[in-house]
Amino acid sequence: MSGGLLVAGTTSDAGKSVLTAGICRWLRRRGVRVAPFKAQNMSNNSAVVVGPDGRGGELGRAQAMQAAACGLEADLRFNPVLLKPGSDHASQVVLLGEAVDTVTAGNYHEVRSRLATTAYAALAELRAEYDVVICEGAGSPAEINLRDGDYVNMGLARQAGLPTIVVGDIDRGGVFASMFGTVALLDAADQALVAGFVVNKFRGDRGLLQPGLDMLRRVTGRPTYGVVPWALDLWLDAEDSLAYGRVLGRPAAPRGTDWLDVAVVRLPRISNATDVEALATEPGVRVRLTVEPAELAAADLVVLPGTKSTVADLAWLRETGLADAVRAHAAAGRPLLGICGGFQMLGRAIHDAVESRRGTVPGLGLLPVEITFEPRKTVRRAEGTAAGDVPVHGYEIHHGRVSAADPGLAPLLRYADGTGEGARLGTVYGTHWHGAFSSDAFRRRFLTEVAEAAGRTGFKVAPDTSFAAARERTLDLLGDMVEEHLDTDALWRLIESGPPPGLPFVPPGAPPGQ
């Protein structure tokens, strides 16, 4: 077979990514060769893939997670177009893993046809190689102002003949209106592909919901394929840091007598915030995102995460008073960690003629290093050690490099060839490596050192926490939820046979071609 399905949503963050991953895991359990696909993603959370030529490339983190649900290594074709916002007006274009351009709202239409052609070709290749491709839409297909030239939602569905299901987040309210309105704002040809709905994040008695589902079917002529319950444990591999609450996950009780409190600064253009998810899987570690200077004072560890716009976010730190709070935290001898862009902020100076083009900008002066931005982005996987013998793996995505450092400055990590990476000075740490804390032994060693420096002598790391196992449990949970709460027989028929014939038109509908 060469089946396919598009999972669209009533809004961003409606649950498209997790539902796609759950369907992928369900199909894999059935022995289906399945792959994920998202034609265009807009996110600063990305993963690194090593291509056939040995070079590293980027794709959206959600598609890397969905690949794992399929039992596959991530493939750049799973997300051929990645837009990485650097400001409110411009985004970097990553095409099949490589940064090739910068677009704005004004010139996006000039490159859109090239991006669409690449995306369609990638999907065609995947459909030739796999039994089923589960596609994820972006935002909402009812963004009718963007329908002309769309190749991510109904434009993709129409081009590839994909049956489409629309998922809505009932936790936000207005789910029936948004589902009905999504269909009613589409033109007739698009509506003919929308087969039905899935309700996400439901809490309570399903019986109380049923009258609404029945009416939705009457007014649209389309069924609801399932009602997925709200789940506490679905927070790993978040597509967007805004999907996090103030506290990541559900911190388990400490193994010792002390908790460890980690404050992560929620930068305006935060990227790869998933780095700190591994810390949050540890019992007794409370990880929270904050923009409040006062909250840094009480933290045992402060983390400056990655950012797509280092210089702009450094200016924001100073404007908000967070820069002074970070310095005060470090001056008190309490642990401070900078990751990628956060590491760059900790240095003496940033020389940036590439990203912000602001030239030389003073850093926070907490590490004796200088950073120079280079036109070619470093994108690669990384392997090495910490503290002499602790294995560490991660990945790098950055324009900046350490161009000057004080002699004798200790590295935080070492590459496999022994070359030092990052820096550590007292209780201030910095690294360009993302994902290092998914290495269990390194995470335990680092948290033990942090707890000692912070005076949390009663904190003990758990010897049996596995971040890889936690991620796998999440994927299995998603597969379980699909099997238990969706009409999988109907879903299978949809994937195998395409949109049901004779789906009714829901007025008013958009004019044809809109």
**Which residue's entry shows tokens 């596609």?**
135
Contact assessment for residue 200 and residue 482, using Cβ atoms and an 8 Å cutoff:
no
Q: Which of 24, 340, 398, 485 is catalytic?
A: 340
147 is written with which tokens? 């329908």
CB contact at 8 A, 243 and 402: no
| Residue 340 bears catalytic tag | yes
User: Is the peptide bond prior to 512 cis by the omega test (within 30 degrees of 0)?
Assistant: no
Phi/psi at 27 (5° precision): -65, -40
* Phi, psi angle pair for 263, to nearest 5°: -110, 120
Q: What's the rounded Cα separation, in Å, for the pair 157 and 191?
A: 11
Q: What's 290's DSSP letter?
A: E
Catalytic residue (choose from 398, 399, 432, 434): 434
Q: Which residue matches tokens 């402060």? A: 302
DSSP 500: P
CB 284 within 8 Å of CB 239: no
Contact 99, 377 (CB under 8 A): yes
The 8-class DSSP code of residue 13 comes to T
Residues 317 and 291: beta-carbon distance below 8 Å: no
Q: Give the C-alpha separation, 33 to 322, whole Å.
A: 49
Task: Enumerate residues 6+ apart whose C-beta is below 8 A from 498.
Answer: 161, 162, 163
Beta bridge partners of 104: 90
Contact 69, 78 (CB under 8 A): no
- Rounded to whole angstroms, the Cα distance separating 131 from 34 reads 6
Phi then psi for residue 430, to 5 deg, are -150, 145
Determine the Cα–Cα distance for residues 328 and 275; give it in Å rounded to an integer.
24
Residue 398 falls in the annotated catalytic set: no
Cβ of 103: how many Cβ atoms within 10 Å? 18
Would you please indicate which residues are annotated as catalytic (active-site) residues?
A: 340, 434
